[in-house]
Structure 1
Amino acid sequence: MASFEDKVAIITGSATGLGASTALKLSASGARIILNYSKSQAECEATAQACLAAGAKDVRVVQGNVAVDQDCRKIAAAAEDWGQVDILVNNAGTTKHAPNHGDMDALEAEDFLHLYNVNTVGPFMMVRAAKPLLLAAYAKTQNASSVVMISSIAGVIGIGSSVAYAATKGALNTMTKSLARGLAPAIRVNAVCPGFIDTRWFTDAFGEDTTAKIRENVKKQVPLQVASGPDDIADTVAFFCSSASRHITGETLLVDAGLHLGASIRAPT
C-alpha cells in the first residue's frame, strides 16, 4: 500500500465503525486526518487519540451533520490552513430498519427524504464543499485527488435494511459515475459497496443476541463463510484512497465476501 505521508484526509462519520477503521489505516503512514461526528463526540475524540498513537501527523475533530450544507462547509474548512485535501471519504450514513420490503406501510415519505438527505445529498454537498481543496492538492502534485463513497450492496441488488436505504445507495452509485466523469482529471471518484459489516449499527438496532444470530447466518450464506468487520472493508477503502488505484475512477466495487453471488454448493469437508 502506498504511503499517506503528509496527505490530508477528511472522513465523515468517523467516530466508530468503518470510518474509524479507515482513519486508523491512513494514520499509520502519517496522514493528516479530519474526523467528523454528528452525535458521538466522546467516541470521536477517542478515535482521534488512537489515530495520533497510530502515527497520524495531525488530527482534528469536527462536529457536523452532512445533511446540512453549512456543516459540510465547516468540515471542509477545517483543512483550509493545510492548503489541500487529498482524500475525502464519504462514510456518514443512516437507515431506517424495515427489512420486509413488501410491507408498504413500513416507511413514510419523510423516511425516504431523511435517508436521501444523509446518504445521497450529504456526499454531494461534501464533495462540493471540499472541491477547492481537492483541486489544490491536484495542482500541487498533478496526481488526482480521491473521493471514496461508502455505498452498499443494497444499492446494487436491492437488499438491505429497507427499500429507502437501498434506493439511496443506488442513487449514490449513479452519482459516483456522474461525478467521476464531471470532476476528472483532477479528482477520482469511486464507491465501495460492502455487504454485512459487523458494527454497532446492528447491535444498536437489534441487540447483542439478535446480532449474533445475524452474524452466524451471514457466515452460512456467503461463499467465503466470513462475517466482515470494519477493518476488512477499510483495507479496500484505503486502496481507493491511495496511489495504487490512481488509474481507477467511476468504479463501484462490491466487497461482500461473495454475498451477491447468492447461495453456493460447497464441496464436502
Structure 2
Amino acid sequence: MNENNNPVALITGGGTGVGAATALQLARQGWRLLLNYARSAAEAEETASRCREAGAEAVAVQGDVAQDADCRRLAETALARWGRIDLLVNNAGVSVFGKDAAWDALDAAAFHRILDVNTLGSFQMLRACLPALREARGAVVNVSSVAGALGVGSSLPYIASKGAVNAMTLHWSRELAPAVRVNAVCPGLITSRWFERGVGAEAAEKGRQGYEAGVPLANSCTPDDVAQAIVYLAQARTVTGELLLLDSGMHLGGVIPRR
C-alpha cells in the first residue's frame, strides 16, 4: 500500500483502554492515526509511540469532545496532516459510579457532563469530520454500551447517553448512506482500568465474577475484544446501522445451563 494513500482514523479517547487497543490494531494494518485524549497525555503519547513502532504514522492531540471548537480542531489537524479522514471512532466517554450514581447524588451538572461528552461529543465529532468522511466514503463506529440497549449500567445519565448514541447511530446510518457507513459496538462489562478506577479494584473484581457467572458465555470483554469488533465494522463495506452487542449473551436474559 502506498503510504500516501493509507487510510486515516481519528479515535477519540484514543490513549487508553478500547481506544488504545483499536489504535494498535489499526496501526498493524497500516492506518494513519490521530489519537485524541482529554487528560491522559502520557498514556496517549505512549500509545502513539507504540503505533509508530508498529510502522504507522500516529499523533496524540488533546481536546475535549464536549467542546465544538475542539472537535473542529481535531478534524482540521487530521486533514492538515494527511488530507483525509476515512474512519471516526467515537470512543471518548465518561460516567459516574457507586454513591455518585445514586439518584439523590446526581445533579444537573453531572448529568450534563455525561451527556455532553458521550452524546453531544459524538455528534460534534461526526459533524466536524463529515465532509472528509463523505469524500472518502468512510465509516463511523460509535462506542456505545449494552447500557443503551438494555437500560442497565453504571449510572442513569450513562444509560441515557448511550441510548441516545444508539438512536443517533440508526438515524445517521440512514441519513448518510450511501457515502458514509455508521455502526455502533455495545459492549457489556469491559475489564479495563476505566471500570476499576470507577468502582475500585475489589468491587471491580467482584463485579467481573458476578457478571461472568450470570451470562451465557461466562466471560467478559477485554479492550482488545471491543477493538476487534471496531476494526471489523470499520472495513465491513456491506454493514451499516448495526448495534453490535458484545455482551457475552447478557441480552438473552439468563444463564444457559452449562455442562
**Common fold by TM > 0.5:** yes
Aligned counterpart for 2:237 among listed residues 225, 229, 246: 246
Q: 1: distance between equivalents of 2:150 and 2:200?
A: 26
Alignment of 1:1-269 (within 5 A): 6-56=6-56, 58-81=57-80, 82-98=82-98, 103-138=102-137, 145-242=138-235, 245-268=236-259
How does the TM-score come out when normalised to structure 1?
0.90
- Cα drift, residue 98 of structure 1: 4.7
| Contact 1:60-1:78 within 8 A present in 2 as well | no
5+ residue gaps, structure 2, are none
Residue 142 of structure 1 is matched in structure 2 by none
Aligned residues: 254
Counterpart of 1:62, as a letter, is: V
Q: 2: distance between equivalents of 1:120 and 1:267?
A: 38
Q: 2: distance between equivalents of 1:79 and 1:265?
A: 47
Q: Which whole-Å deviations, capped at 9, do the CAs of 1:14-66 have from their partners, x for residues lacking one?
A: 1110000000010001110000100000000000011111231x111110000
Counterpart of 1:150, as a letter, is: V
| Contact 1:151-1:193 within 8 A present in 2 as well | yes
Q: 2: distance between equivalents of 1:211 and 1:264?
A: 21
Counterpart of 2:187, as a letter, is: P
Cα root mean square deviation, aligned: 1.6
Q: 2: distance between equivalents of 1:257 and 1:19?
A: 20
- Cα drift, residue 233 of structure 1: 1.1
Counterpart of 2:140, as a letter, is: V
Q: Give secondary structure in 2 for the equivalent of 1:78.
A: helix
5+ residue gaps, structure 1, are 139-144
Q: Give secondary structure in 2 for the equivalent of 1:267.
A: coil
* Shift >6 Å, 4+ stretches: none
| Contact 2:15-2:35 within 8 A present in 1 as well | yes
- Cα drift, residue 267 of structure 1: 3.4
Q: 2: distance between equivalents of 1:12 and 1:166?
A: 20
How does the TM-score come out when normalised to structure 2?
0.94
Q: 1: distance between equivalents of 2:211 and 2:78?
A: 39
Q: How high is the sequence identity, in percent, across the aligned residues?
A: 48
Q: 1: distance between equivalents of 2:253 and 2:199?
A: 24
Q: Which whole-Å deviations, capped at 9, do the CAs of 1:220-251 have from their partners, x for residues lacking one?
A: 11111112110011110100111xx1111111
Q: 1: distance between equivalents of 2:180 and 2:258?
A: 45
